Amino acid sequence: MRRLSLALLVAVAAGSLSAPALADGTPKAGAAIDPALAAAVADPLRKDDAARDVYRKPDQTLAFFRVGPAMKVGEYAPGGGWYSRLLGIYLAPKGKLVGLFGDASGASAERQAGMQAAVAKFPAQVAGWAAQPAERFGAFSLGAVPAGEKGTFDRILLMRAMHNLLRSKTADSELATMRDLLKPGGMIGIEQHRAKADAPDAYVDGSKGYLREADVIKVMEAHGFAFVGRSEANANPKDPANWPDGVWTLPPSLDGAKDDATRARLQAIGESDRMTLLFRKRD
């Protein structure tokens, strides 16, 4: 497998490499929704999360990623748990959700301790959200992969996390580890804030949250993944994707809401325009 050096990774993210040719026969959005997934999306346990479904289209997104109810699925950098709560409800009866946390081995002692604490509490946390037994869930750091985990995952999901891999310069190691975790033919689904195709290089270094779609595809291909296709389920043409202070200007952060009028304008735009991409592990 050919990997990008950090220098080459920066070059790709900055757009100095040409965009890749995309595969023919790109899967279309609108795949049939598994009844169990539809039920999970409608579950009353998600009542506080459901307001964001209009922006995040979780049923369409997970159907496009071909996530099945009996799969072992890794969620990279679970964050606040919006997708974890849904995946916990959906996967617990027959499958398994595993929180995949970043490798903090080179970070400060404080950050390492925080990561260890997040790993330790994840299974019970999701169990509480999903009203399911804690043993249906797992978690570990990519810097300390337990024995027997490599080659066991059906899917790994990166939900609005790729920009952090680029700006922290950890994409090389993290993507290599994720690839090792996948079964032969396993897939990675990526949802990511989408910059315009002609966005300036300085805007797509990860610090603004937005990346160019062609750059993300190129990075994944260079790390041993074949591009399967894209969905426009999470597209938002109202987003100009050029906010000086980045994606956090928009909902849900609304860092750009300095007054009521601005808040109303940003809320009318909604959450960011996002790419939704699927990749398969190459042999």
* CA–CA distance, 14 with 219 (Å, rounded to integer): 11
How are the residues of the chain apportioned to helix, strand and coil, as percentages rounded to the nearest 5? 40, 20, 40
Would you state the pLDDT for residue 66? Answer: 98
Give pLDDT, residue 209: 98
Confidence bin at 17 (pLDDT 50/70/90): very low
Model confidence at 7, pLDDT cuts 50, 70, 90, reads very low
Q: Is 27 exposed, middle or buried (0-12, 13-18, 19+ CB in 10 A)?
A: middle
Question: CA dist 33 to 29, 39, 69, 191, 197, Å?
Answer: 11, 10, 12, 18, 30
pLDDT given at position 32: 85
Q: Which two tokens stand for residue 240?
A: 């100009």
Beta carbons of 52 and 251 less than 8 angstroms apart: no
pLDDT single digits (tens) 234-254 = 999 999 999 999 999 999 999
Contact present, 22 and 227 (Cβ < 8 Å)? yes
pLDDT digits (tens, 9 = 90+) for 83-135: 999 999 999 999 999 999 999 887 788 888 989 999 999 999 999 999 999 99
Helix residue ranges, H only, the chain: 6-13, 35-41, 53-56, 58-64, 82-91, 109-130, 162-167, 171-181, 213-222, 260-269
CB-based contact 89:43 (threshold 8 Å)? yes
- Whether a cis peptide bond, with omega within 30° of 0, leads into 27 is no
**In whole angstroms, what is the distance from residue 132 CA to residue 129 CA?**
8
- Which amino acid is it at 137? F
51 vs 22: CA distance, rounded Å: 34
